[in-house]
Structures are given as structure tokens and as C-alpha cells.
Amino acid sequence: MPVSPPPYGRDTMLVKRMITILAVLGLLVATLALPAAATTAEDSTPDTSTTGSEFGTETGGDVTPSGVILPTSPQAAAKENMVKLWAKAKESGNDALAAAIVRSYEEAWGLASESGGIDSGMGVSLSSSGGVLPMAGQYSTHILGVVQAAQTKSYYCGPASGYMTIREMKGSRYTSRYDGSTLSQTAMANANHMRTDINGGTSWSSGYFIRGVNRWLGSSTFVQSNRPGASLFSWIVTFSTDSAGQPIAPDTVEFRYGVHYNHHPSDKTIGHWIVADGYYSYGATTHFADPAGQSSAVSWGYLASRYFTYATTNFANSFLQNNGVAW
């Protein structure tokens, strides 16, 4: 005769199966509950969607084709409007209004603690061509004093410019608010900041330059202004120097056999990040620090000077109409 299973045998088997299923489910839950750091690590895969930009332009910058539409972020639009109103208030001699305009922008974007302060003794007036004309109280010459740092790798113009910018603003011992890195070009190029080592350059359209400096600062201080006209660039230079007390980073393009600056070779197309830290002649001429200057990592670096000057209006019209300026 067939032997009957012991009482509750089938129930016991079902219980065992349920225990096994629950154990598997528990393992899945535990896996999903891993700390955020383990599941949100920066991707080390090179970026491929840079809005039509082209790398391979000598120093680590890129060239955004003229036909590509570059979107302006809401904060960048607000900051551009702020600096225009600031300039108009200064033009009329209303320093209190100029200061209020800046405070309103900073408060709206949570930047009040990042302000470099407002110097109400400055004034700016704008010519019809977009140049800067002197007003009573404005400096004739105002240079912040960025110390040039030659880029340490052939494609490090972005990290070198970011390094110079942070060092001028906060000092060489200011560690990254994002990952605690010690300030260096290599740290600025890492996956948490500009991703330059991963991508082999720092493209304009990626936004990684301002991501890098903003993460280092722990704020959203810097924005990108795409293809600024001469007037906007003039306002940015004067405002950043006089009121914010901060360097800015133009991302320039020099086309092969076209006009070049600072002894860069004219037979090359060069997309290149540099730093601007002040002006001469009441803003008519801008002062720059060039990370390619005397850099042994750049094949023609020995040709370029560490610092150079250029007419503000001509610079914007000649070199900023493909990429733009971070400020």
C-alpha cells in the first residue's frame, strides 16, 4: 500500500518555499538599500553628445559650429539681465540702485553669501559700439592679479583656467566643497568636476566647466553666456572685476588662417579656455592670463605669453561668437 505523507507534510514544504522566496526578496531589498554613494558614482564613460562641438583643437577646448543653437539657462538669462540693469544704473550714477539690483539677483538665486561685495564707487557708461567709457569714480585700471598657471596637460586649458579662477577667489588651500579634493588642475579635471580626463577636453556645450568651478565653490555662482555681444562682454568684464571681484573664463575660438591672439599659431583652429581678470583704459582693454602660455604640454606653448591684453570689443567680436564666457 502507498505510504501517506506525514501530517502537514505538504504545508511544511510550502513554508520552506515561502522562506526561500522571502530570503531572496530580502536580498533584493538589501541591495536596493545600499548607500547612495555606491549607486550614484560618477560615470566614467566619455561623453558623446556635445551639441555638435569638435575636440582636437590643440589645447583641450572645442569649437561649437555657428549654426548650432545653444540654449541659455534661466539663471544665465537672469544674470545677463542683472548685469545690463547694473550697468545702466551705474551709467546714471545711481550706485544704490546698482547695489540693489545685484542683491536682488543674488537673493533670488541663493547667492547672497557668495557675493564679492559691491563697491559703490565704481561707475560704467556704455558707448554705442559696446565699449566702456569712463565715469567719475571708476578705475582707469583694475586688475585682480590672477597668477597664470600653465596647463599641465595638452588638453587641460579648462582645468587650468578653473584652477586659476578658484585660487584667485579662495586661495590655493580651498578644497572642493563637493568631494574634498585639494586644489589642483588634476582634481579640477576629475569625474566629479570637469570630466576633462574622461572626455579628453572641456567642451563648451557640455557645461562641465561651470559644473567644475561651481561644485568646487559649493554654489551656483558661475553661469555660461553663449556668444556674448561686445556690450554684454564689456559689462561682464567690468562687473566681475569691480563688483564681484571674480575672474571670468572666456572660451575662445580662433579659426585657421583667421585672426589669432597672444602669438597662437595662425595655421591652426584653436578652441581654448583662458582667464580674464581686469581691464585698462576704463574697460576698453581687457587683461588675460593664458594657460597655454609657456606651457611645455602644448607644442607651441613657448610662443605664447603668460599674460596678454586685447581690445574688449574686438575680443568679443573675434573670439567669442562660437562658444562664450563663463562668469
Q: What is the pLDDT of residues 74-109, one digit of tens each?
A: 999 999 999 999 999 988 889 999 999 999 999 999
Question: What confidence score (pLDDT) does residue 91 get?
Answer: 87
Instruction: Check residue 36 and give its pLDDT.
Output: 33
Angle subtended by helix axes 74-91 and 230-239, to nearest 10: 80
Those residues of the chain that have pLDDT short of 70 are: 1-42, 46-56, 113-137
pLDDT tens, position by position, 251-290: 999 999 999 999 999 999 999 999 999 999 999 999 999 9
Q: What is the pLDDT of residue 67?
A: 87
Region of 217 (left: φ > 0; alpha: ψ -120 to 50; beta: rest) is alpha
Q: What is the pTM of this model?
A: 0.81
**Please, are residues 154 and 270 in contact by the beta-carbon 8 Å criterion?**
no
Partnered with residue 226 across adjacent β-strands are 324
The pLDDT of residue 66: 87
- What pLDDT score was predicted for residue 1? 46
Residues 297, 154: contact at Cβ < 8 Å?
yes
Alpha-carbon torsion 309, 285, 317, 124, what sign? positive
Supply the pLDDT for residue 324: 98
Angle, nearest 10°, between helix axes 208-217 and 157-170? 30
Q: What is the pLDDT of residue 164?
A: 98
Nearest to 311 by CA among 282, 275, 272: 282
